[in-house]
């Protein structure tokens, strides 16, 4: 089973935190739902750490195992597509060995907490807004 290491950025404002909970939407649940939509697989993602409600993250490392061997670029693009409109972005995806574990293998200090909207998420929103605002100019 291929294992993937993903690096995320997200605005924690609309979430109850990283971990799946019964009292509201979580970052983990949003990512797992996006994985299910693109791959048809039900997986549990593992994070290097957790954030509390409303806390933003830049550089959050997670890993997941998929039954199919996907190109890492396709995994990141598919997840970014299926995560819309949630303010979560996959900024890097790599195929890693089965011995990689997000919690134990990630370098200390890799995740930085932010008080503002993650730049990648903001850039994606601006790009999408421009695309919607610009009429198709093809003849």
Q: Are 27 and 18 in contact (CB under 8 A)?
A: yes
Higher local confidence (pLDDT), 74 or 117: 74
Q: How confident is the model at residue 107 (pLDDT cuts 50, 70, 90)?
A: low
> Does the pLDDT of residue 20 top 70, yes or no?
yes
Structure tokens that stand for 138 in this block? 């093809």
Q: Tokens 């890097």 map to which residue?
A: 92
pLDDT of 7: 92
Average pLDDT, integer, range 115-126: 56
Q: In which band, very low, low, confident or very high, does the pLDDT at 123 lie, cut at 50, 70 and 90?
A: low
Is 11 one of the catalytic residues? no
Residue carrying the six token digits 């404002």? 13
- Calculate ∠ Cα 15-81-17, nearest 5°: 15
Q: Give the lowest-confidence range in 9-18, 67-76, 82-91.
A: 9-18
* Cα torsion through 37, 56, 15, 72, rounded to 10: 10
Tell me the sheet residues that pair with 113: 57
| 31 within 8 A of 62, measured Cβ to Cβ | yes
**The predicted structure's pLDDT at residue 55:** 78
Considering 17-26, 30-39, 124-133, the range whose residues carry the highest mean pLDDT is 30-39
3-132 is a CATH 3.30.465.10 domain: no
Residue 57: predicted pLDDT: 80
Q: Output the pLDDT for position 59.
A: 82
The residue that leads in pLDDT, 5 or 12, is 5
pLDDT at 126: 65
Q: How far is 138 from 133, CA to CA, in rounded Å?
A: 15
The catalytic position among 11, 52, 86, 136 is 52
Domain ranges of the chain: 3-132
Q: What is the pLDDT of residue 92?
A: 92
- Per DSSP (E only), the strands in 30-130 are 46-47, 56-65, 88-96, 112-114
pLDDT at 32: 96
DSSP string, 104-129: HHSPTT--EEESS--HHHHHHHHHHH
C-alpha–C-alpha distance, residues 80 and 76, integer Å: 6
Average pLDDT, the chain: 82
């Amino acid at each position: 089973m291929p294992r993937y290491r993903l690096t995320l950025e997200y605005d924690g404002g609309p979430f109850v935190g990283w971990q799946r909970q019964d009292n509201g939407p979580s970052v983990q649940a949003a990512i797992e739902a996006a994985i299910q939509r693109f791959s048809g697989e039900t997986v549990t993602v593992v994070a290097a750490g957790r954030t509390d409600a409303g806390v933003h993250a830049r550089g959050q490392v997670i890993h997941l195992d998929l039954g199919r061997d996907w190109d890492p670029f396709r995994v990141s693009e598919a997840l970014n597509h299926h995560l819309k409109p949630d303010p979560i972005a996959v900024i890097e995806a790599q195929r890693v060995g089965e011995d990689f574990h997000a919690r134990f293998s990630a370098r200390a200090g890799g995740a930085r907490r932010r008080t503002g909207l993650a730049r990648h998420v903001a850039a994606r929103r601006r790009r999408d807004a421009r695309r919607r605002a610009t009429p198709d100019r093809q003849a």
